[in-house]
Each structure stands twice: as C-alpha cells, then as structure tokens.
Chain A
Amino acid sequence: MEVIPSLDLLAGRVVRLTHGEFSTAKVYGEPEAVLAALDVPRGTRLHVVDLEASRSGRPVETRIVERLAQRDLIVQVGGGIRSIDDAQRWFDCGAERIVVGTIAADSPALLASLVDTFGAKRIVPAVDIRNGVIRVAGWEREATASIEDVFARLEALGIPETLVTDISHDGALRGPSFRLYRELAKLSSIRIIASGGVSTISDVVSLARHRNISGCVIGKALLERRIDLGDALVRVAMPNAIPERVIPCLDVRDGRVVKGVNFVNIRDAGDPVECARRYEEEGADEIVILDISATDANRQTALDTVRRVADSLFIPLTVGGGIRTVEDFRAMLRAGADRVAINTAALRNPQLIADCASEFGVQAVVLSCDAKDGRVMVRSGKEEGDIDAVEWCRRAEALGAGEILLTSVNRDGTGSGFDIKLLRAVTSVLKIGVIASGGAGRLEDFRDAIESGGARAVLAASLFHDRVLTVGDVKRYLAEEGIPVR
C-alpha cells in the first residue's frame, strides 16, 4: 500500500480548512518547506488539492504542481476539474494523474471522454460517501447515482484505482471506515485509495492489511505530527510481519479461576492449571493471571498458583494483582512469571514502575489500568482515582512500563465489545503496546480492537471460560480478516 501525503493548497501555501470554510484556513507554509519538515522522500506520490480551483472552477496552483513535479515527486492533483481543458492544463504542468470528484459520480459522459483522452490510469475518481450515499458538489448534495452504479461504471471504464472518503470519518477521531472498505471489496474489484479518519500509525497498518486498499491519503495527521511518515513507511512495508496476540485471562482467587461481571458477582470457573494448559493447546499467545483478591494473607496461595501454572506452560505468563513493592514483583518473577502487572500501587507510588523497570527490564513491567468513563479506577475497580486514564498511561510509558493492560470497567463482562474510543485515545499517544481488555463478546470485537482500536493484543476471560468462543476460533477469524496471528 502506498502512503500518500496530502497537501491542500491556497494562495501558494499548504493549509487546512475546518469544515471546508476558507476563512478557517490554518497555514503550514510553502509546500517545499512542509515537505522538507515532513521528510518526504523523492519519488513519493503526493495528493494535491487546489482549493481555489475547487471554488472558482479554474486551475490556480499550476506553478506549484510544476515545481513539485520537477523535484521528482509524483503528483496527483484535484480541485474543480470540469473539462478536458482543465485536465490538459494539469497534465501540462507535470501532474501524473488528476482527481475528479463531482463528475465521477454525476457526469458519466465527461468522465468517459477524460478516460478516452488521457487513459484510465491517469484519472482517479474521488467518491465521497456519507451513510452509504455518495455526496457531490462539496458534499452539498446527494449524487444522482448509487454507489453500486458508480462503481460498476468506473469498472466498465477500466479505472484501476478510486479515492474513497467516508465523510462521516473525515477529520474525526474514529479512525478510517474499515467497514465501508470491506463492503466495497465485496462490490467491486477496483482498488481503493483510502482517505479520511487516518490519525495513527496503527490506522495506516490496518489499512495496509486490506487487500483492496492500494493507497492511503494522509493530511492532517502528518501535518500535526501525529504520524511520522518514516515510521509509517517502515510499518507499511511489512504490515503482517508482527503477529497480534490473543490472551485468555484467568481471574484467580484462593487458587481457583473465578469470573464476575463488572468485578462483582463472582463465580467459580475451574482450576488455573487446567485452564491455562487448554488455552495454550488452543493457540493462546500468552496467559494473564490476575489475583483479584490479593491480600497479604493469601499472598502465598497466589505465588503457589503462579508457580503451578508457570510449570505447565511454554508460552509467556503475565501476572498481576496486589503487587506493591519491588520485592513482590521479584517474588512473582521467581515463581515463574515472565511479566508482572502493577496497578493500584503504581498510582500511589509511580516510582515503583521506574524501579521495577530498572531492576528487571522494561519487558517485565506491565501497567494494568482499569478505566471507567475515562478515569482510572483502583482497588480492582472498586474506587475511582482522580487521574485521567490516557494521561496515566502516557506517564507509565515515560516511567518505563513495557506494555499497558487497559481494561474498560464499563464494558467488563458485558460482552458489548471493547471500548474502541478509549483504546484509540490511549494507543494514539503511546509507542508501547496496549492489551485491550473488557467487553469482548463477538468475533468482530477482537478484530475491531486491533484494527480500529490500535491494540496489539486482545484479552478475554469469561468468553473463553464459558467456551462461547475458543482461542482458536478468534485466531482463525482474525486471520480470515487479514490480521496476522501466530
């Protein structure tokens, strides 16, 4: 998949408009300066929008396109192109392709003559979709043709690639419209340049995993430095290199696996060793044990459980619950844990994260964060802390946490899906991985947590204990959906 930086031009400068209002233009500077600041390599394809042209209907920023083409950049340009002459003018400036919006949906005759004149490969139709309907003329009105008709027409003309923007996702924090791209894959073999909603590296990687997506236009997220172009190019080169993980969680009390809804109504769910072994056989990538009743009195019971489970597994084991000191942490590692999750104690004493990281390495330190309505909860979800969950995770990363286990207390045990909004809020500001926890109910939930939420691992407890789904079911489903698993 090609990563295509997008430059909106107005009066010779790169700008961003809010809601298409010219008066709101935020200026980022001369195109060359912006490209240098973003470290755009030679040979990169750029998506250039001539805003003035889209308003006046005549090409305006032709000199800039000329300059960019001369700098070894491949330019696709759009903005109010309504005639063969407009198109010719852009090609004369060195544009490689032109992007046409309204006429793609509403003027089939003109589109056909553009294709006849310049060839299908040089025309990129841009289709803007809101709630399943194509919008045209600056999103002002519905197109006369349906999505199905427009795509059938484009296919008949031999158009290889189409730019698709889901307007309801553009500029929003919801991420790209993966569902729309999936539907289009069923509808047509035309390859898609995805546009709108791309705001994290993980969004870019998720798009690259879709077979029908050949390109991804990124504007605001690059300009606002939320995505580093170099990072994106590295990740996109091998989007399937690193498998995502499926992790069953054993909530353990007094040596037994238990389960509960929203941390209450606890029921017995079996022997931890038997559960853990079964999960490894089913393909679990890691096991998490949370000692949910951890008090000094049953400290030894917890250590004994960890020892017994660790002795029966050949996959990594992460253990949490009641870890208050570096010595507690060490005892869990000695009992056979590979990684230890810290929760309440780190809130009271954040230095504990740094101390454990320097003593045992960052790979051993997991910060467990229980969030309710965006705030951090403590004491197994019983008490509300006074800190914002995103801020706390960011701080934990700076202190040396190697990964975050992020549980939505609102969703936990409900089966209503992972909290994608919470996940995105956290994953978009961290470099370290996030394990999504709380709310898994259907196969799609696991996909969405990774694809839209940016999680690097998905965790579930009761769903697996009750055998509603097996770990194998989840991994097979993820693989079918294009997400790499072990």
Chain B
Amino acid sequence: MLIDSPVANTANIARALRAAGAELQITSDPETIARADKLVLPGVGSFAAAMRWLIEHRIDAAIRDAVNGGASLLGICVGHQLLFDVSFEMGTTRGLGLIGGEVRKFEGRLPVPQIGWNRVAARGPLFEGVENSVFYFVNSYAASNASAEIARADYGGAFTAAVQNGRVFGVQFHPEKSSAAGLQVLRNFVAWK
C-alpha cells in the first residue's frame, strides 16, 4: 500500500513499485493505512511540511498502528527521514521515532544538495543482489551512523543511506530513479516477509 500525499512524487514511485511486482493500493485514508500489511511512505521537499501533513491527516498514528500490528514499512527519501526521532531541517521537528537517530544537514565541503548517483555499500535482505551498487540521490539532509544502518554512502563524509529496524525500512535514495538497482530494492521489499 502506497501512502499518497501532496508532498511526495507518488506517481513515479507507484510506477516503480508496480514494475517491481507490487499489487498496489494508493491511499491517504488513515483507517486503510492502519490495516495495511505492507506500506510505502514516500516524501520530497521539507521534513517539517511532510511531518505536518502526516499529523494533520492522522497518518502518523495510522502508520504506527500498522507497524505495531505487524505491517512492514518502507520510507523513501524524506519518507525515510520521517522514520527518525528528529530532524534539524529549518528548526527542530520530531519525526515518527520508528528509527533511532537524527537527520542533519551535510556538513562536508561538497555542494548541497547532493544531486546524482552515489555508490552505496549495503547488507541485509533489502539489498540482496545489489549490495554494492549505485543509487540516485537528491538530498541536503541525512542521518549518519544510525544504529539501524544497513547501507552507507559518502558525500564529503559518511552518511546513512538505508536503515532497517525489524519490519521498518528506509532508503535515503530514490529507488524509482535508480534504474535496475533501484527496482531490485523495491522487488526485495515487495517479496520480504
């Protein structure tokens, strides 16, 4: 089930998920979301705007209910960042708290945002077959050294490219723009039990 929101590139992700074999339902209804067994949370733009939208539509609670009820969840880009405890993008904003850690601006000397392909060293079921591949990123903020880190990349300093805490997954890159490697990650999530 794909969470539809005005602060996400829902159409592109839907297309990629279908190509990865998902039978997809696209919704922003909290009750439907709470009953889902598999959820994808996309997001672009600012963390604060995305979180505000989740709260206003009671989707934050619905996501937590679904995960507590045994659903698996994949956050993408800002959707991945929303899983964390807190972000420091434009002030301090609390996230969903499903993954321990903080989202901060890149502090290195490279231009921000990072726009483009970057090599990711990964492990675990989400990256089966693409443990050392290149994915497409567009981000100015990222977590680093997250305890749930399953993938890492470097942009003037190491950052967390993906996380897993039990059934909860997040990827900082855009799998829907990462060609075959991205589709493989989505396929792995679709197949994950």
Chain A interfacial positions (CB closer than 8 Å to B)? 228, 230-231, 234-235, 238, 241-243, 245, 280, 285, 310-311, 314-316, 336, 338, 361-363, 402-403, 431-433, 456, 486
Contact = CB atoms under 8 A, between A and B. Distances in A.
Contacts of B119: 241-243
B57 to A, nearest CB: 22
Interface in B1-58: 11-12, 15-16, 19, 45
Contact of B176 (A234, A314, A402, A403): A314
Given A234-B108, A238-B154, A311-B15, A363 B117 contact: no
Given A234-B156, A336-B11, A363 B177 contact: no
A50 to B, nearest CB: 33
Interface of B: 11-12, 15-16, 19, 45, 108-111, 113, 115-119, 134, 136, 138, 154-156, 176-180, 182-183
B111 A336 contact: no
A22 to B, nearest CB: 37
Contact of A316 (B109, B156, B177): B177
Contacts of A310: 12
A243 B117 contact: yes
23 contacts: A231-B109, A234-B108, A235-B110, A241-B118, A241-B119, A242-B118, A242-B155, A243-B116, A243-B134, A245-B117, A285-B117, A314-B16, A314-B177, A315-B136, A336-B11, A362-B113, A363-B113, A402-B115, A431-B111, A433-B115, A433-B116, A456-B116, A486-B134
A238 B134 CA distance: 15
B109 A230 contact: yes
Contacts of B138: 363
A134 to B, nearest CB: 38
Contacts of A431: 111
A314 B183 contact: yes
B89 to A, nearest CB: 12
A230 B109 CA distance: 8
Contact of B117 (A230, A231, A235, A486): A486
Contact of A314 (B110, B116, B178): B178
A338 B138 CA distance: 10
A322 B154 CA distance: 37
Tell me the interface secondary structure of chain B in the complex.
mixed
A143 to B, nearest CB: 41
Given A314-B182, A315-B136, A336-B12, A361 B113 contact: yes
A317 to B, nearest CB: 9
A362 B113 CA distance: 8
A336 B118 CA distance: 22
A361 B45 contact: yes
A311 B111 CA distance: 30
Contacts of A361: 45, 113
Nearest to B181: A486
Contacts of A403: 115
Q: What are the 7 A-B residue pairs with the smallest beta carbon separation, nearest first?
A: A486-B134, A363-B138, A231-B109, A363-B115, A431-B111, A243-B117, A234-B109
Given A280-B179, A314-B178, A242 B117 contact: yes
Contacts of A316: 136, 177
Contacts of B11: 336
Contacts of A245: 116-117
A241 B15 CA distance: 29
Highest count of chain A CB atoms <10 Å: which of B11, B19, B116, B155 = B116
A234 B110 contact: yes
Highest count of chain B CB atoms <10 Å: which of A238, A402, A431, A486 = A486
A432 B12 CA distance: 26
A198 to B, nearest CB: 18
Contacts of B179: 280, 314-315
B113 A402 contact: yes
Given A363-B113, A433-B111, 6 more contacts: A241-B154, A243-B118, A280-B179, A311-B15, A314-B180, A314-B183
Contacts of A242: 116-119, 155
A231 B179 CA distance: 31
A116 to B, nearest CB: 45
